Amino acid sequence: MAALVSADGAYGGPVSVATDQVAALRSAGHEVTLVAGRDAASRPDHPATRLFRARRPRADGFAGMVAPGVPAWVLRHARRYDVVHVHLTRDLVTLPAAWLADRLGVPVVVQTHGQVRAEHGRLQGVLDALWTRRLIGRSRFLALTGHEAADLQRQGVPADRVDRVVNGVPLAREVAAAPGAGPRVLFVSRLADRKRPVAFVQAAALVHAVRPDVRFELWGPDGGEAPAVDAAIAASGIAAVCARRGPTSPAGARELLAGGQLFVLPSVAEPFPMAVLEALGAGLPVVLTTETGLSAAVAEAGAGAVTDGSPQELADAVLRLLGPAAWQEAATAARELARSRYAMDVVVATLEETYRRAVTERRPG
C-alpha cells in the first residue's frame, strides 16, 4: 500500500484512511506493507512500514512533491505482492508508484479520495498525461461517493472498474465525557478556506454571548486561513476562550476528540471527512453543514446537527447539543453510527473483494 504520511497531519484524511486500512487488514491475517513518502518528523510504527523522505518545492501544495525512495522500493519489491493499493493524488510520489506497479504486471487498486477530478490546472494536466491516464485501462478504482465515481467515469474509467467503499474508523478506546464546567468545542482539520475555520470562530463568538463558560479550540495545519482565524478571534474579543492551537499528529487528533464535548466542521464540498468519523468513533456529537458526504447519515442517526453553515445556525446547534439530555442522546447515536455503518470490518470485506477482482482481471488468459 502506497501513500503519503506526515507527523503534523498536513496530508489530511487519506493518511488516517491508509493507516487504518493497513492495521485492519493485518488484523484480518493479511501481509501488508505500507510504503510512503514522509516528512522529516514521521517515524515507522510497524516493522512492515517503509517510509522514505519526501520533499516538496512549494509549501502551499503537494503536486511537485517527490520521494525517490518510494518508486525505487516499488521497482525492487512489488512483484512479491498480490496487489498494490495506492492512495493516489496528483503528486510525484504516489503516481509513479502506481505506474511502476502496473508496468511490472502487478494488479493495482487506486483510491483517489476525491483528489483526482476532471477539472485541473496545467501541472495536473501534465501529470495526467504522463501517468494518471495510463492507469485507467487496467487498474481498479475505489470511490467514496457517487459524485467521485461519476468524476472518475468522466475521465475514462469504465463504470465496472469502480467499486464503492466507505471510510471506516476504529472505535476509540477513550470516549468523550458529558459536558460539565467549561465544555470544549473542537475544530480539528486543516485551516483552509473550504473548511471555513473563520465561520467556527464567528459561531464561537455567538455562543460566548450566551454561554461564556464554553471553550473553543482550533487544531490543524495552516492551509492559508490562519491569519484570518487569528484576526477573527481578536476582532470578536474572545481570545480568552477561543484559541488556535496549531497542527497535531493523527494520533494526537484522536486523543483530542476523546477529550472534547462537541466537534464542529463548517466545511463545504467535503466528500467524506475522516475527522468527523473519528469524532463519531469517540462518541462525540458533530455539527456539520449540508455539504459533506456524512451529513445525511448524521442527521438520520441523530448523531449531532446538520446546519446551513451560517455562524448563527452553527451556534444554535452548539447551544442545543450542550444541553445534558440532547448531548447524551447524540453521543450515544454517534458511537452507534460509527460502529454499525463505518466499522473497519466492513471496509476490510470491501477491500478483499476489490483485491480479488483486480487479481482476476490481470491474470493471464
**Residue 287 above 90 pLDDT?**
yes
Name the average pLDDT for the chain.
88
6-28 pLDDT per residue, tens: 655 666 678 888 889 999 999 99
pLDDT grade for 269, boundaries at 50, 70 and 90: confident
Go through the domains of the chain in sequence order and give each one's CATH number: 2-168+344-362 (3.40.50.2000), 184-341 (3.40.50.2000)
Nearest to 264 by CA among 327, 325, 307: 307
Nearest to 189 by CA among 316, 74, 86, 287: 287
Nearest to 298 by CA among 261, 256, 333: 333
CB 18 within 8 Å of CB 42: no
**Residue 46 above 80 pLDDT?**
no
Q: What is the reported pTM?
A: 0.84
Q: How far does Cα 222 stand from its chain's mean position?
A: 16
146-174 pLDDT per residue, tens: 888 998 888 889 999 999 999 999 888 88
C-alpha cell at position 212: 461564556
- 243 burial (CB, 10 Å; 0-12 / 13-18 / 19+) is middle
Supply the pLDDT for residue 365. Answer: 47
- Per the model's pLDDT, the better-predicted residue between 52 and 83 turns out to be 83
